[in-house]
Structure 1
Amino acid sequence: MAYFVDRNVKMTWWERSYLPEIIRGMYITSRHFFLNLFGFIPFFLGQKKKRPIFTVYYPEEMVHIPVAYRGRPVLAINEHNRPNCVACGLCEAACPAYCIDIIPGGNTGKQNDVERWPKEFTIDYA
């Protein structure tokens, strides 16, 4: 869906000075600061019954991870229990940390075999 952006809109002096956005940002930042600084007082005075705890004690408590979580890259496997990777090397070249190493393997000569596959696929997580 295409849309048109009118770049010739004239801004007022007040909008060009960016003062409204600076004031709004300072308001949000100071509100978070003071709520975090003095937010524990109602709990200690007995007005608030439950204090939120943000620490997760891992072996005893498990964190709910969504199904679509993409936190750790792995080599994808297809329904025939073979890797989907064709060892093209694009992910190795695109990795900003240079932590992916791929050693391509050749074709074994079978009719339904893929042309290339990764003989060794390592990701250095360190």
Structure 2
Amino acid sequence: MFFNLQELGQWLGVTAYEIWIWLTSLAVFTVLLSLKLDGNMDFSWWVVFSPLFIGDALNAYFVVTVFIRMYIAKRVRPASLRTLWSLLQLVLVFLFEYLLCWKLTDSTQFEYSEVMAPLFILSQFIMIRACQLH
């Protein structure tokens, strides 16, 4: 019923380290979000979303490092495909976070459907990947 780490890694095309970075940044984001919504701290939305942006940057750094190591090992095609997939995921997630943060600061007139568009696209790509695996 639940996915184990190996299945989740195959479906999403990420490693356990990348999942750990996502979960850590999400935990810190959740704490900052609860502090902001409670009114205990007067953070801007950019400060609240900063752990997610930092997590995306760390994952991008990891992806580039893995690409370089695979390229040096003469595995050019798998390195290129993995890098392309991971960077596509990172760009779409970052774009969603950025648009949501921009929407919450009331500096734009975006609708929520426009803000959620990167997640819709990402879900389509994950569906396609899942169909290719099985």
Same fold (TM over 0.5): no
Of the two structures, which has the highest relative contact order with CA contacts closer than 8 Å and spacing of 6 or more? 2
The structure with the largest alpha-carbon Rg is 1
TM-score in terms of structure 1 length = 0.27
Richer in helix (by share):
2
Q: Which has the higher strand share?
A: 1
